């Protein structure tokens, strides 16, 4: 919806996540072609999810 691509899941860290009782993570990767607006959009999306989930 916001034009940001992320990956969700365990990212090959299931034992660590289980130890810390973490159900899943979201990973965003930045590259040289990303700009400040891309980062601002990502942060806005993270804040929106945080507001919706209350976490």
Catalytic residues, which ones?
12
d(CA 29, CA 18): 23
CA distance 38 to 30: 9
Q: Alpha-carbon distance 41 to 30, whole Å?
A: 12
């Amino acid at each position: 919806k916001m034009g940001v691509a992320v990956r969700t899941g365990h990212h090959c860290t299931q034992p660590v996540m289980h130890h810390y009782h973490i159900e899943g993570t979201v990973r965003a990767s930045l590259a040289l072609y990303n700009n400040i607006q891309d980062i601002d959009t990502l942060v806005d999306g993270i804040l929106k999810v945080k507001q919706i989930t209350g976490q």
